[in-house]
Amino acid sequence: MLNNIWYAVEFSAALAQQPKQVTLMGKEFVLYRNSQGEAIALENRCAHRAAALSLGQIDGDCLRCPYHGWKYQADGTCAEIPANQPGMAIPKRARVEPHAVREQNGFVWLFVGNLPADQRPEIPDLPQFAGQQWHRSLDEFRWNAHYTRVIENNVDVSHPPFLHRRLGQRANQDPTIAMLQVEPSRWGASVTLTAKLAKLKGFWQMLVAQQGDFGSTRRHAFYMPNFTTLELNFGRFKLAFLMAHVPVSETVTITKSIILRNFFKSQLFDSSTNKFGQKLLREDEAVVKTQVPQSIAADTSHELLVASDAMILAYRKLYKEYAE
């Protein structure tokens, strides 16, 4: 994992009345809301007997361990040990590690590192949230793959004609990619492509029935360290996938997606939209999990990247800079 940077780790909507466990490369954290509704993040193991605090209960501004009831404040210090005799001091070691956490654009962001607050980088802005009246749905997907490979897949612009033929790509479509104009930003990079799509099936055929053989654009972007976006424009209809790729372990990544659309805003259509995204990811995962090495942090010098891989090259360059 990269250090001293913010990771998108959970939906804001997922933090409610119960603590929530988050795992990043095998390290467990617990998220909860205090009595003011603020998100709090702590180490997930009680200082007493290492029980998971995520199984405990929220008690005002504190989190109470499920095993022996030790109560922890937002700064990680233990405020109460129920089994102690009255007046007995609480040991100084009775504490867990607190972690900086923020909420922005529908996600909970966890800071991994040791920089003081005034030296931490900003959380990337997501312009997709501004300017339009979007309908939102939430979805999750589990990959048996390292998160760096998942991110590269999501900014790989040349695989759809081969891997996603059944989702509107013509079997005889010219797979040539025009010279990519990658737009770098402080946190990542983006690229926009145009394409012709065949008429789709089912829900999507109904969506474009009035548009004939229409033009389409798609915009891929990544934001360090674990966030990508995919924006699809079907004529006047717009669909955006905002994806936090949570690195659970070396071989497991959980993608948490907020899906935005400017059409058919009833929740009745959420299932069709989510199925569309799930099908794309299942087709991707079947191939991505076979890549060797599993992580781009290992030696990838045997891979031959070409002009159409410009976004992957941009990601690897930034990854190396952050790693150093």
Selected residue with higher pLDDT from 146 and 129 = 146
User: What pLDDT is attached to residue 52?
Assistant: 98
Q: What percent of the chain has pLDDT over 90?
A: 72
Selected residue with higher pLDDT from 165 and 89 = 89
pLDDT category at 167 given cuts 50, 70, 90 is low
pLDDT category at 269 given cuts 50, 70, 90 is confident
Ordered by where they begin, the domains of the chain are 5-116 (2.102.10.10), 131-323 (3.90.380.10)
**Roughly how many angstroms between the first and final C-alpha of the chain, as a whole number?**
12
User: What pLDDT is attached to residue 173?
Assistant: 63
Residue 86 scores a pLDDT above 70: yes
Q: Are 168 and 232 in contact (CB under 8 A)?
A: no
Tell me how crowded residue 220 is: count the other CB atoms within 10 A of its CB. Answer: 20
Mean pLDDT of the region 245-274 = 92
pLDDT category at 296 given cuts 50, 70, 90 is very high
What is d(CA 73, CA 52) in angstroms, rounded to the nearest whole number?
Answer: 16
Tell me how crowded residue 212 is: count the other CB atoms within 10 A of its CB. Answer: 8
CA dihedral 182→183→185→189, nearest 10 degrees, is: -40
What is d(CA 70, CA 134) in angstroms, rounded to the nearest whole number?
Answer: 43
Angle between helices 270-288 and 147-154 (to 10 degrees): 120
pLDDT category at 212 given cuts 50, 70, 90 is very low
What is d(CA 136, CA 240) in angstroms, rounded to the nearest whole number?
Answer: 10
Cβ burial, residue 160 (10 Å; 0-12/13-18/19+): buried
User: What pLDDT is attached to residue 205?
Assistant: 54
Q: Are 136 and 75 in contact (CB under 8 A)?
A: no
Selected residue with higher pLDDT from 53 and 129 = 53
Buried b (16+ CB within 10 A) or exposed e, 299-312: eeeeeeeeebbbbb
Buried b (16+ CB within 10 A) or exposed e, 28-54: ebbbbbbeeeebbbbbbbbbbeebbbb
The DSSP 8-state label assigned to residue 56 in this structure reads: S
Cβ burial, residue 111 (10 Å; 0-12/13-18/19+): buried
Cβ burial, residue 296 (10 Å; 0-12/13-18/19+): buried
Q: Are 185 and 122 in contact (CB under 8 A)?
A: no
Mean pLDDT of the chain: 90
